[in-house]
């Protein structure tokens, strides 16, 4: 792949985000990868934050307005899920059962439920459903990420009245849902308990406490953090699952930006260093986790920029610059960043099956461009 100069790639990344934003305010995950032709709250939260960092606050505001309208449009779905959790009904699920009819991780760009949503989703670790199957859509992290991004967007300003009902509803949902087993941020089951999910939920509830001025949400955030430290300890560091001692690249966000642990907390430092050593690919990027087979389990650009973001925030500027240089080297000649690169995968035999199923790796992936922009700003 050709190396793109950092300033043009930053400019190109900003253009990719703006071009990928629908008139509704939603961000398409990837405009050239049909399976990703939806709006995830997870991806969108980081895209909106990247636009805030780049000074495009109006575009970020449009995304937050879209989320609030979408949540309000599906209020009955949220209220039903909350009521079922309160009643100890099917929403509580079991060790290997996906709760029915929970608020989804992704919506159409218009804010509607995708076709087939509500049907039972597969719970295998295969990187998601096929285009004709319902997506593994019960993952709560995106709702926490949205509240975090909204608080960052407002930066201490009062919460607009138009957003208050949606923020309150999402906070209530997170308070009830964070203890439930769900899919992780990669749409994989993995036992249903995930360190990064708890970190995102805690960050969202922290944000809700500030936005709504209600200590109830702070207490809920503290509960999620306590569960993280209690269930996910692996010696001096944390682990990706309650019964999975591996690390996961998404655990970088526990420190930066979610603050479930302070970035310089010894447990967070040990976790990051294990990620740095265990998940480092031979090319210089980061794998998601060991044993990943999605498109062969290649090196992910957004995680490499996440490590650069962490390093920049903790004073390891040279390491951050090196990570960002690797990301730039993966850009296409026209400045598009893919989701991952597969020329040095963990399981080479699994590259072709995914290409046959869905085509080449998603390029551009808006989330890759967003994390690149955020890390570039942090390095400067």
Instruction: Note whether 73 and 111 are within 8 A (CB).
Output: yes
In 284-351, the DSSP E strands lie at 286-287, 299-300, 340-341
Q: Which residue has the tokens 């138009």?
A: 162
Distances 217 to 83, 148, 173, 207, 359 between C-alpha atoms, Å = 18, 13, 11, 8, 43
Q: Which helix (H) or strand (E) holds 205?
A: helix 195-212
Distance of CA 74 to the CA centre of its chain: 21
Does 339 participate in catalysis according to the annotation? yes
Instruction: Note whether 210 and 256 are within 8 A (CB).
Output: no
How far is the C-alpha of 288 from the C-alpha of 249, rounded, in Å?
5
Does 236 participate in catalysis according to the annotation? no
Q: Which helix (H) or strand (E) holds 237?
A: strand 237-238
Report DSSP letters for 60-104, one per residue. HHHHHHHHHHHHHHTHHHHHHHHHHHHTT-GGG-BTTBPPSSPPP
Spatial neighbors of 191 by CB under 8 A, at least 6 apart, are: 95, 181, 241, 242, 243, 244
Instruction: Note whether 139 and 184 are within 8 A (CB).
Output: yes
How far is the C-alpha of 98 from the C-alpha of 191, rounded, in Å?
11
Active-site entry in 43, 52, 175, 339: 339
What value, to the nearest 5°, has the Cα angle with vertex 224 and ends 219 and 225? 95
Active-site entry in 52, 125, 175, 187: 187
Active-site entry in 175, 184, 292, 376: 184
Sign of the CA dihedral 240, 246, 250, 253?
Answer: positive
Helices 164-177 & 75-86 angle (0-180, nearest 10): 30
**Bridge partner residues of 119 (DSSP):** 117
Of the candidates 308, 325, 330, which has an alpha carbon nearest to the alpha carbon of residue 377? 308
Does 110 participate in catalysis according to the annotation? no
User: Which tokens go with 142?
Assistant: 């995106």
Query: Which residues are the active-site residues?
Result: 184, 187, 339
């Amino acid at each position: 792949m050709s190396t793109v100069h950092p300033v043009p790639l930053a400019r190109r990344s900003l253009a990719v985000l703006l071009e990928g934003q629908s008139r509704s305010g939603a961000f398409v995950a990837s405009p050239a990868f049909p399976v990703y032709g939806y709006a995830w709250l997870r991806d969108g939260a980081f895209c909106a934050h990247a636009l805030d960092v780049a000074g495009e606050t109006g575009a970020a505001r449009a995304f937050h307005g879209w989320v609030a309208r979408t949540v309000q449009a599906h209020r009955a779905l949220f209220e039903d899920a909350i009521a079922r959790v309160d009643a100890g009904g099917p929403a509580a699920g079991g060790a290997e059962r996906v709760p029915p009819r929970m608020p989804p991780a992704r919506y159409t760009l218009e804010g509607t439920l995708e076709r087939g949503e509500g049907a039972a989703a597969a719970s295998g670790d295969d990187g998601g459903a096929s285009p004709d199957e319902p997506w593994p859509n019960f993952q709560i992290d995106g709702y926490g990420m949205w509240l975090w991004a909204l608080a960052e967007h407002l930066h201490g300003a009062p919460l607009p009245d138009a957003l208050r009902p949606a923020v309150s509803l999402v906070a209530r949902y997170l308070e009830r849902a964070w203890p439930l087993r769900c899919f992780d941020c990669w749409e994989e089951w993995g036992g249903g308990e995930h360190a990064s999910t708890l970190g995102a939920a805690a960050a969202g509830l922290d944000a809700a406490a500030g936005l709504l001025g209600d200590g109830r949400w702070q207490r809920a955030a503290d509960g999620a953090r306590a569960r993280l430290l209690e269930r996910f300890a692996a010696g001096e560091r944390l682990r990706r699952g309650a019964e999975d001692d591996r690390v996961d690249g998404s655990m970088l966000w526990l420190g930066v930006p979610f603050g479930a642990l302070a970035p310089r907390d010894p447990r967070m430092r040990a976790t990051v260093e294990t990620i740095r050593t265990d998940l480092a690919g031979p090319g210089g990027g980061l794998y998601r986790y060991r044993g990943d087979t999605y498109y062969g389990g290649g090196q992910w650009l957004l995680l490499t920029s996440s490590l650069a973001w962490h390093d920049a925030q903790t004073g390891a500027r040279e390491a951050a610059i090196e990570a960002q240089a690797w990301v730039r080297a993966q850009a296409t000649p026209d400045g598009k960043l893919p989701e991952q690169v597969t020329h040095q995968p963990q399981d080479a035999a699994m590259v072709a099956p995914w290409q046959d199923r869905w085509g080449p790796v998603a390029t551009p992936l808006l989330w890759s461009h967003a994390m690149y922009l955020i890390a570039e700003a942090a390095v400067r």
